[in-house]
């Protein structure tokens, strides 16, 4: 640690980019703790490290190391030593409260960075919770700028190998943030891309802020993911937005799974309150089928049953058959996770809770897109780290079946009509953990 005590934010960003296993949040907390210790030691010495100044009252005398256990992992601190007097970081006692405050500083600094146009006094107040007083505006600004460089590492990291499953979530209905722009305040959507890697692990692979209803925005977002290496997408899951659907077809060229939960909510809006229990139960029953053939049969039966009572719902259900049952072409153990965006709701609620209570901007208005990205980005970095070290989201063996099936399909291409004809057979074979031989034409 001692040899890296003078590491700049740019050097840290380069280090994180070069290390595919880098823990961005832990490294960010470690870097900020070092910057705070350097600022404290410089205040006691009367001058910065290496600075010639008539105000200097003490000189540096190297560093001593100490481990610091935090909720983001154990951090090895290099504590500055002085030739005269003594120095001990005030944020080490009491440990738990100070550690939480330091993580809060990291998160808050992403939102209150100097580039957002918000006063750094709010970050300064958080730093005072650590027992550090009278930090200059330039020192706080350097902290904010350094953290800004680090979060870009996470957002711009290369994506390696295949991501067979992709979820695109636009917080449109439940969470639209207000962002200040020239001429007034506009509503913006926070867009997040989650993927399941070929290894079966879940990852946050992209986030952006913009006009999520437009096809142009979605197209640009998906192309940015492709440019970073996104490949091998076999199924994309999202809510129904025409611009998004068109962008998926154009940029990814993969099947699209419409979120069945959102579809059901939409259908209930087309019937009376008295009819809702009947419609809800009938549609839910479609997705409890145990095979692709059974799911298609149930959907058509439900459409026939609803036609006399709710003709619009019956028609919409028939029209959406392919996009509602796209999940059934994959292993059955994946179905509950593939047919909706619900597995992401916990993360979305946490982001919504933080943006609701952050309480740092007037009437909940973010000063610009970057401010919203910083807040969401810090939460997603922490969530991503938890996913990478936790249990696999999908088993490695079942993911191997998906990849093997795709290899067979590429080796023996067939016309679109024959693929549709054999879709149920292939899905059932996958569910029996076999790789089918496609029909040769």
- The residues spanned by each domain of the chain are 2-156, 160-258+341-367, 260-338, 396-431
| Residue 19: pLDDT over 90 | no
Residues above pLDDT 90, as percent of the chain: 35
Q: Kindly state the percentage of the chain with pLDDT values over 70.
A: 65
Can you tell me the mean pLDDT for 355-378? 63
- Between residues 134 and 324, the one the model is more confident about: 324
Whole-number mean pLDDT of the chain? 77
pLDDT (tens digit, 9 = 90+) per residue, 205-255? Answer: 999 888 766 889 999 999 999 999 999 999 999 998 888 999 999 999 999
Q: Residue 3 CB: number of other CB atoms within 10 A?
A: 8
Name the band, by pLDDT with cuts 50, 70 and 90, for residue 409.
low
Q: Determine the Cα angle at 173 with ends 388 and 276, to 5°.
A: 105
Give the pairing of strands 202-210 and 73-82. unpaired
Cα distance between residue 177 and residue 183, in whole Å: 17
The answer to whether residues 178 and 364 touch, using CB atoms and an 8 Å cutoff, is: yes
Question: Which position has the higher pLDDT, 390 or 340?
Answer: 340
- The winner for highest mean pLDDT among 6-20, 26-40, 178-192, 309-323 is 309-323
Distance of alpha carbon 399 from alpha carbon 338, whole angstroms:
13
**10 or 98: whose pLDDT is higher?**
10
CA–CA separation, 170 and 209 (whole Å): 9
Alpha helices for 137-291 (secondary structure H): 137-156, 215-227, 242-247, 260-268, 276-286
Are the C-beta atoms of 436 and 237 separated by less than 8 Å? Answer: no
pTM over the 0.75 mark: no
Q: For 242, list phi and psi in degrees, rounded to 5.
A: -60, -40
Distances (CA, A) of 231 to 140, 163, 281, 312: 40, 6, 38, 38
Instruction: Determine the 3-state secondary structure of 131 from DSSP.
Output: coil
Reported as a single tens digit per residue, the pLDDT across 289-334 is 999 999 999 999 999 999 999 999 999 999 999 999 999 999 999 9
| 187 Cβ neighbours under 8 A, 6+ residues apart | 176, 177, 178, 179
Instruction: Give the whole-angstrom CA distance, residue 233 versus residue 165.
Output: 6
Q: Quote the tokens at residue 186.
A: 């506009």
Does residue 142 have a pLDDT over 70? Answer: no
Query: What is the spatial distance between Cα 349 and Cα 355, in angstroms, rounded to a whole number?
Result: 10
Q: How many CA atoms lie within 13 A of 164 on its CB side?
A: 23
Cβ contacts of residue 12 below 8 Å, gap of 6+?
Answer: 27, 31, 146, 149, 150
Which helix or strand (DSSP H or E) is residue 209 part of? strand 202-210
User: Which fold would CATH assign to domain 160-258+341-367?
Assistant: Nucleotidyltransferase; domain 5 (3.30.420)
Distances (CA, A) of 263 to 188, 298, 324: 23, 16, 8
Helix (H) or strand (E) holding 189: strand 184-196
Query: Cα(84)–Cα(331) distance, rounded to whole angstroms?
Result: 68
Does residue 37 surpass a pLDDT of 80? Answer: yes
């Amino acid at each position: 640690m001692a040899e890296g005590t003078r590491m700049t934010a740019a050097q840290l960003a380069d280090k994180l980019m070069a290390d595919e296993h880098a823990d961005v949040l832990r490294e960010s907390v470690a870097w900020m703790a070092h910057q705070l210790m350097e600022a404290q030691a410089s205040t006691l010495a009367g001058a910065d490290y290496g600075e010639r100044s008539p105000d200097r009252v003490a000189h540096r005398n190297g560093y001593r190391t100490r481990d610091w256990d935090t909720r983001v992992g154990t951090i090895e601190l290099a504590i500055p030593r002085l030739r005269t007097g003594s120095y001990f970081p005030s944020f080490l006692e009491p440990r738990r409260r100070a550690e939480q405050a330091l993580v809060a500083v990291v998160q808050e600094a992403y939102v209150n960075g100097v580039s957002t146009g918000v006063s750094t006094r709010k970050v300064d107040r958080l730093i005072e919770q650590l027992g550090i007083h009278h930090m200059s505006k330039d020192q706080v600004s350097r902290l904010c700028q350094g953290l800004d460089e680090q979060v870009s590492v996470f957002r711009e990291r290369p994506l390696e190998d295949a991501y067979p499953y992709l979820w695109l979530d636009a917080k449109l209905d439940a969470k639209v943030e207000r962002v200040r722009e020239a001429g007034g305040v506009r509503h913006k959507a926070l867009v997040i891309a989650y993927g399941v890697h070929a290894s079966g692990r879940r990852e946050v692979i992209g986030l952006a802020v913009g006009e999520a209803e437009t096809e142009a925005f979605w197209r640009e977002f998906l192309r940015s993911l492709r440019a970073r290496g996104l490949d091998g997408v076999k199924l994309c899951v999202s809510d129904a937005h025409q611009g998004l659907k068109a962008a998926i077809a154009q940029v990814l060229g993969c099947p699209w799974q419409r979120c069945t939960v959102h579809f059901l909510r939409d259908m209930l809006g087309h019937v009376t309150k008295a009819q809702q229990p009947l419609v809800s139960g009938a549609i839910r029953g479609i997705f409890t089928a145990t095979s692709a053939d059974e799911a298609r049969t149930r959907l058509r039966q439900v459409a026939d049953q609803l036609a006399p009572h709710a003709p619009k719902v019956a028609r919409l259900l028939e029209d959406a058959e392919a996009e509602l049952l796209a999940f059934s072409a994959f292993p059955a153990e994946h179905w509950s996770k593939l047919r909706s965006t619900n597995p992401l709701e916990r993360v979305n609620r946490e982001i919504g809770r933080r943006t609701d209570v952050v309480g740092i901007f007037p009437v909940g208005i973010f000063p610009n897109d970057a401010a919203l990205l910083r807040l969401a980005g810090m939460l997603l970095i922490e969530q991503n780290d938890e996913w990478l070290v936790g249990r696999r989201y999908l088993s490695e063996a079942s993911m191997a079946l998906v990849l093997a099936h795709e290899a067979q399909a590429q080796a023996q291409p067939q016309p679109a009509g024959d693929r549709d004809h054999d879709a149920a057979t292939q899905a059932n074979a996958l569910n029996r953990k076999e790789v089918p031989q496609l029909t040769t034409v």
